[in-house]
């Protein structure tokens, strides 16, 4: 988990996309930029707040339907994005660190590692998604 340790403690900040603070997707944007050199769409201004689950769900669905994300078949790998339901909609994400560990930030908390059930359908997990540029690459 050495790459992910430096992100522990990044504070939650709605619409944040950098070291000073990030929301759940902002943490993905930060990690992908720093660790993988992949610039992701920020989506800042495309949802009103982190509480607007329907808007966030729509953005996740669009990114899956039209790219750059592909649903993972088989075991998740490091840097895959785990997508979670809040209620009936996809409204939270985190990064797979490995071995059932997730790096994420939510609410008024800070970025942290947390164990999660890596099988879709458990603990609100919808599935794992891999960026187009990561397809075919192994990171575990």
Q: Which domain holds residue 28?
A: 2-134
DSSP state of 128: E
Record the pTM: 0.85
Query: Quick one: pLDDT at residue 86?
Result: 77
Alpha helices in the chain (DSSP H): 2-5, 24-31, 53-66
**Mean pLDDT across the chain:** 85
Distance CA 134, CA 52 (A): 29
The domain that holds 76 is classified in CATH as 3.90.1720.10
Whether residue 101 contacts residue 1, with contact meaning beta carbons closer than 8 Å, is answered with yes
| Domain presence at residue 140 | no
| Domain presence at residue 30 | yes
Tell me which residues of the chain have a pLDDT lower than 70: 1, 46-59, 120-122, 136-140
Distance CA 113, CA 138 (A): 21
Interacting residues of 43 by C-beta distance below 8 A, sequence separation 6+: 25, 59
| Domain presence at residue 26 | yes
Query: Quick one: pLDDT at residue 136?
Result: 64
Domain count of the fold of the chain: 1
């Amino acid at each position: 988990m050495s790459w992910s340790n430096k992100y522990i403690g990044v504070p939650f900040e709605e619409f944040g996309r950098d070291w000073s603070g990030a929301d759940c997707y902002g943490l993905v944007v930060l990690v992908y930029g720093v660790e993988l050199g992949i610039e992701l769409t920020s989506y800042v201004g495309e949802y009103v707040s982190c509480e607007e689950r329907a808007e966030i769900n729509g953005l996740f669905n669009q990114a899956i339907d039209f790219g750059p994300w592909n649903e993972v078949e088989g075991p998740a790998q490091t840097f895959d994005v785990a997508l979670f339901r809040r209620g009936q909609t996809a409204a939270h994400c985190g990064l797979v660190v490995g071995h059932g560990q997730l790096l994420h930030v939510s609410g008024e908390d800070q970025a942290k590692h947390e164990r999660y059930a890596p099988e879709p359908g458990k603990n609100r997990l919808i599935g794992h998604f891999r960026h187009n540029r990561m397809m075919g690459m192994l990171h575990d």
